[in-house]
Amino acid sequence: MDTFCITYNNWNPKKQKLREALCTLGNGYFGTRGAAEESSNDSINYPGTYLAGGFNRAKTKVGGRDIENEDLVNFPNWLCLSFRPGGGKWLNLEEVEILEYQQVLQMRKGILERKFSIKDQDGRITRIHSRRLVSMQNMHLAGIQWHLTPVNWSGELEIRTALDGTVINDNVARYRELESTHLKPLGTQVEKNNILVLQVQTTQSRLTMAQAARTRLFHKGKEIRSEFEANQKEGYIEQLISFKAEEGEKYNIEKIVAIHTSRDRAVSEPSQDACQNISRAGNFQQMLKDHIDAYKFLWHRGDIGVIGNKKIQQLTRLHIFHNFQTISLNTIGLDVGVPSRGLHGEAYRGHIFWDELYIFPFLNLRLPEVTRSLLMYRYYRLEEARHAAKKEGYRGAMFPWQSGSNGREESQILHLNPESGNWIPDNTHLQRHVNSAIAYNIWNYFIATDDKLFLSHFGAEMFLNIAKFWASKTTFNKKENRYEIHKVVGPDEYHTTLPGSSEQGLNNNAYTNVMAAWVLQKALEILELIKKSRKRELLGNLTIGNDELTLWKEISEKMYVPFLEEGIISQFDGYEGLQEFPWEEYRNKYNDIQRLDRILEKEGDTVNKYKASKQADVLMLFYLFSRDELQAIFKKLGIKFTEEQIKNNVQYYKERTSHGSTLSRLVFSWILSKFDEEMSWENFEKLIVSDFEDIQGGTTPEGIHLGAMAGSLDLIQRNFAGLEVGDHALWINPRIPPNIKAISMRVNYRNHWIYISVDKKKLKISFEEGWSNEVKIGVIDTLHTFQVGEAREFKLSPSRAKGK
């Protein structure tokens, strides 16, 4: 088994949409699903191409109301390539006999390969070997190469190559009642050298995309100059190339495509730039070479070796790969965030949620320049967030739960329950905790990189705005002498209101409250960290006076944290009054109860009534903070919180969580690692296959879950290799689980590249290169100073107790 490959040895129409998502190729600028070149949108296939940041808004009438949604647009399908023998039918795998079929995602090289032989209705056998790339080197380019052999026939052969802009957003069945046409055709033309050009524009955001394609035919290395015929209709252009094919001969068909948009940097006019790029691009082989080189560097930075478990190794690489398809070095400066479902499908409309919280830990230590760019996406939307806060009567900045083009709140007002067919009001936008996630990300980017310029300028400005928001969002409860936060929703989206209440939102979601206290504590710390002049500037510009700073300190020491009996943190006020959920009964009644909210709504009930969570909520605190950090936060709040309590809280909520989000297993795997290694591993195993096996039964074909993918990588580095990123040292305290032999990885800690390899007995560390000649690395509980070029080995004792 080559763990750099995902191999499918058959054509399976039922699984095709899942495979398309898993075989998506992208380069951080655009992504294209792994659909067959000859296919188009139907019940089996869904070709989709998505541009990072390529959004459009459209209105639909639902129940008499105008609903506006913003979608990541499915842009024209550039894949279109097919063939037919003279007088035959165009290739369709459903209509021929498939003699052999193999599809391989070659992750090391970033290539999708298909090899198949088919026999048509007239007994003609044709073999095709197709290879495809989305260039990691030149982000505007993509290419397909077909080696086609008429195995037992000679005669007229026709190739059809096209650019299809008549596509709509049709990947997600439950969105189908909503407006899904986002593209307006702008024109098609055939340019010099038989270059096809298609231009489209999004209907509302007026983003123009030009695609240019050149298809050439070679035989024995020589170009065959044959008959070209171009057909054009609105939004679609195709070329038919016909030639005389000889039995047993191999023909090489190459389609090179360039994609440019009005949203690009360094752009004059997209179609001119696309044509220019195509004419400069070499042939497929040359493109391939540059592309593979770019991948070499990416893997050098990003690979994680998992020795002794091929399945986990393969899926680890799949997760690294899809992170790179969505966010790579090409992403830098594109003014885009991380869509939670990648550039792989249309679920959640390509929106950006809080999932960066799970994604950045992997990125920070490998492509920190990319994290910085992704944080800038938030910075450029600070004004919109300030406006949102003001509109609701708050100060500072209130970032949206779902973000898209300009940082407006993009959460839907109504969503469709596919189980019942009902449209239901959606109040999940009250997840104000996204603000703390952004602050947390800023801080952790800084800790991992020591990027003081970023922190003192952009980072601090965002951080202080978020702190200001939290201070204005709290209310003082005189009786309790504590500050409270009302009308919010926590990460557990199942609970948006108390049963029977007409109010939206809940009071004192513990996770939200503690995070807000942390933000306020950290904001004060950051003000002491940055230069005095910058502090003066910021406080002046943001009109933050001494009173405000005093208030921040007070709130951070007096934030209310609700508790149930015996030291269990209450998820929110009123949680104690909810009913216990009959888990057993529902597990017996339904196969899959991950989406309890939908099941209960269909039954005329509501999940709001029960002590049943979609995903980790209170427990997020134990995921984001180490025991020591958390105890420090609680100490400031004047609350005693022991290790025993952590364990009891984990136990309490573990029994009340349905894991309706793939993020949930991730959090559980981490927090359980301290108390129950077996259960932790079970959760890790579920997590790592969640997309590959589509464990939610149909969600992966609508896009991969990038948070879960990147989170699984973070678990390997944080849990198994035991990395803890400190501000003075990188700490390593490994514990390799029984089902793995060893782990290796390269990390960039504060501009120092460090190679780590660890098995059950020893840990090897080498400090390869860095901005300074020294780096501090803590091994278990002892601090060491490494000189550049130095490599050391440490013995590990199996009985050692783990971490802080």
Stretch that binds ligand BGC, among 113-121, 350-358, 462-470, 648-656 (CB under 6 A): 350-358
Distance, CA of 759 to CA of 744 (rounded, Å): 9
Of 198 and 347, which CB lies nearer to ligand BGC in the complex structure?
A: 347
**If binding is defined by CB under 6 A, does position 340 make contact with ligand BGC?**
yes
Q: Which one of 484, 493, 548, 702 is the catalytic residue? A: 493
Of 78 and 670, which CB lies nearer to ligand BGC in the complex structure?
A: 670
Distance, CA of 21 to CA of 32 (rounded, Å): 9
Closest listed residue to residue 412, CA positions, set 174, 699, 706, 698? 174
> Phi first, then psi: what are they for 491, rounded to 5°?
-55, -30
Q: Is 493 a catalytic residue?
A: yes
Of 202 and 690, which CB lies nearer to ligand BGC in the complex structure?
A: 690
CB atoms within 10 A of CB 790: 16
Query: Are 116 and 11 spatial neighbours (Cβ–Cβ below 8 Å)?
Result: yes
CB of 431 to ligand BGC, least distance (A): 8
Of 83 and 353, which CB lies nearer to ligand BGC in the complex structure?
A: 353
Closest listed residue to residue 322, CA positions, set 685, 20, 705, 48? 705
Q: Confirm or deny that 614 is annotated as ligand binding.
A: yes
User: In the numeric block, which tokens belong to residue 453?
Assistant: 């310029």
CB of 521 to ligand BGC, least distance (A): 24
Of 313 and 712, which CB lies nearer to ligand BGC in the complex structure?
A: 712
Could you give the string, one character per residue 129-168, with x where binding to ligand BGC holds by CB under 6 A and - elsewhere?
A: ----------------------------------------
**If binding is defined by CB under 6 A, does position 615 make contact with ligand BGC?**
yes
Q: Confirm or deny that 354 is annotated as ligand binding.
A: yes
CB of 430 to ligand BGC, least distance (A): 13
> Phi first, then psi: what are they for 663, rounded to 5°?
-70, -25
Interacting positions 722-781 with ligand BGC (CB under 6 A) = none
Distance, CA of 102 to CA of 19 (rounded, Å): 12
Applying CB under 6 A, which of residues 164, 254, 356, 493 lies at the interface with ligand BGC? 493
Q: At 218, which amino acid appears?
A: F
Q: Confirm or deny that 635 is annotated as ligand binding.
A: no
Burial 375-391 (b: 16+ CB within 10 A, else e): bbbbbebbebbbebbee
Could you give the string, one character per residue 664-703, with x where binding to ligand BGC holds by CB under 6 A and - elsewhere?
A: ----------------------------------------
Report helix, strand or coil for 109: coil
Applying CB under 6 A, which of residues 158, 273, 355, 384 lies at the interface with ligand BGC? 355
SS3 content of the chain, % helix, strand, coil (to 5): 35, 30, 40
435: left (phi over 0), alpha (psi -120 to 50) or beta: alpha
> Phi first, then psi: what are they for 645, rounded to 5°?
-65, -40
| CA dist list (Å): 301 to 37, 331, 754 | 32, 16, 10
H or E stretch covering 745: strand 742-749
Question: Would you call 281 exposed, middle or buried from its count of C-beta atoms within 10 A (0-12, 13-18, 19+)?
Answer: buried
Could you give the string, one character per residue 646-665, with x where binding to ligand BGC holds by CB under 6 A and - elsewhere?
A: ---------------x-x--
Half-sphere exposure of residue 239: CA atoms within 13 angstroms, side-chain side: 24
CB of 348 to ligand BGC, least distance (A): 5
Of 454 and 511, which CB lies nearer to ligand BGC in the complex structure?
A: 511
CB of 490 to ligand BGC, least distance (A): 10
CB of 466 to ligand BGC, least distance (A): 18
Query: Are 684 and 637 spatial neighbours (Cβ–Cβ below 8 Å)?
Result: no
Stretch that binds ligand BGC, among 164-172, 351-359, 388-396, 415-423 (CB under 6 A): 351-359
Closest listed residue to residue 307, CA positions, set 295, 316, 299? 316
Half-sphere exposure of residue 189: CA atoms within 13 angstroms, side-chain side: 11
Of 150 and 342, which CB lies nearer to ligand BGC in the complex structure?
A: 342
Applying CB under 6 A, which of residues 55, 284, 299, 354 lies at the interface with ligand BGC? 354
Query: Are 420 and 595 spatial neighbours (Cβ–Cβ below 8 Å)?
Result: no
CB of 355 to ligand BGC, least distance (A): 5
Distance, CA of 334 to CA of 53 (rounded, Å): 8
Bridge partner residues of 777 (DSSP) = 730, 784
Closest listed residue to residue 104, CA positions, set 195, 11, 176, 8? 8
Of 20 and 493, which CB lies nearer to ligand BGC in the complex structure?
A: 493
Could you give the string, one character per residue 570-609, with x where binding to ligand BGC holds by CB under 6 A and - elsewhere?
A: ----------------------------------------
Stretch that binds ligand BGC, among 43-51, 52-60, 70-78, 346-354 (CB under 6 A): 346-354
Applying CB under 6 A, which of residues 11, 353, 470, 494 lies at the interface with ligand BGC? 353
Applying CB under 6 A, which of residues 34, 404, 491, 722 lies at the interface with ligand BGC? 491
Distance, CA of 160 to CA of 83 (rounded, Å): 6
CB of 354 to ligand BGC, least distance (A): 5
390 contact partners, CB below 8 Å, separation of at least 6: none
> Phi first, then psi: what are they for 259, rounded to 5°?
-125, 120
**If binding is defined by CB under 6 A, does position 348 make contact with ligand BGC?**
yes
**If binding is defined by CB under 6 A, does position 707 make contact with ligand BGC?**
yes
Interacting positions 73-132 with ligand BGC (CB under 6 A) = none
3-state secondary structure 346-394: CHHHHCECCCHHHHHHHHHCCCHHHHHHHHHHHHCCHHHHHHHHHHCCC
**If binding is defined by CB under 6 A, does position 721 make contact with ligand BGC?**
no
CB of 475 to ligand BGC, least distance (A): 26
CB of 592 to ligand BGC, least distance (A): 15
**If binding is defined by CB under 6 A, does position 326 make contact with ligand BGC?**
no
Query: Are 430 and 486 spatial neighbours (Cβ–Cβ below 8 Å)?
Result: no
The two beta strands, 97-106 and 5-8, are: antiparallel
Stretch that binds ligand BGC, among 54-62, 353-361, 391-399, 600-608 (CB under 6 A): 353-361
User: How many positions of this chain bind ligand BGC (CB under 6 A)?
Assistant: 12
Stretch that binds ligand BGC, among 321-329, 347-355, 629-637, 756-764 (CB under 6 A): 347-355
Stretch that binds ligand BGC, among 192-200, 227-235, 352-360, 407-415 (CB under 6 A): 352-360
Please give the annotated binding residues for substrate, written as ranges.
354-355, 614-615
* Binding-site residue ranges: 354-355, 614-615
Binding interface with ligand BGC (CB under 6 A):
340, 348, 353-355, 491, 493, 614-615, 661, 663, 707
Residues recognised as catalytic: 493
